Amino acid sequence: MDTVTLYRPVGPKELELIEASGWRAFPPRLPEQPIFYPVLSEEYATLIARDWNVKASGAGFVTRFRVSASFVARYRVETVGSSVHKELWVPAEELAEFNRHIVGAIEVIAEFRRQPVSGSANEVAQFATSYDPKNFNAIAFAWNGKHAEQFADANADFRRKVIDVVLAQPDAVPIELIRDLYTAETEYSREAWAVLPAVSQLAELLLIRGSNAFLDQYANGMGQGFDAALASRNISLPKSVAASLLAECEARLEDPKIGPARGRYQVLVDFFRAKLEP
């Protein structure tokens, strides 16, 4: 069978889904992503993985795969910049059929990662006290897509230094930093199969300082797996904060449009109610 070699730059989350398929398929597109874009050259894929995926998610990977030449001939080659920037535009609804015409395995041929901040004590303190959410990529969970002995998070060391600053002087840092550290560490726990003890302290600070405004982020963190849920529950709250959070969850349960989130808020109602018991 004649085949055509294509490339696709991906971030850590898409790579995880590709691995889950046995390296045989690309995951379905999201509703806001109507087109699947494989590219024709390794150079173009490298450019996107290095300059866009790394910026967006901390890491970028170049995948290479082969597709039946007779099948792929149905798609016109689109040039979206210079002569190097050539890609195919595959409608999202045709991706499943496209996957069926992939020959062999999808392979990772290159990976790129954000260079970490050097992490001197002064730099870490400055980063923490003047944190801007636009700098989240420096502390985000930057997973290499692997588990066990091969697991790595490119931002873990720097993030842990920032956490140390936050726990030492929690009132000196923006609440958004506490939120983003909690998000990154609960995501870390899901793939590392372990949780940092500081997650409990971050969860506690998030709710005490942020209260109802950060309820969704807390719930999302709890949902990152068994370890994250246990750590997120291991907190102490002033009764006034627990009462406010309970009232907010109960109000959301009254919303007829709550949909699938109902179970999550019912769990939180039970949790915050228990915190009010003598």
Please state the domain extents for the chain: 3-113, 121-236
Which regions in the chain score pLDDT beneath 70? 115-119
Task: Give, in order, the Cα–Cα distances in Å from 244 to each of 190, 204, 239.
Answer: 29, 14, 8
- Is domain 3-113 given the CATH code 3.20.170 in the classification? yes
| pLDDT reported for residue 218 | 96
111-127 pLDDT per residue, tens: 887 765 566 888 899 99
| pLDDT reported for residue 123 | 87
Residue 172, helix vs strand vs coil:
helix
Q: What is the pTM of this model?
A: 0.62
Structural contact between residues 106 and 22, judged by C-beta atoms closer than 8 angstroms: no
For 201, left (φ over 0), alpha (ψ -120 to 50), or beta?
A: alpha
| pLDDT reported for residue 116 | 57
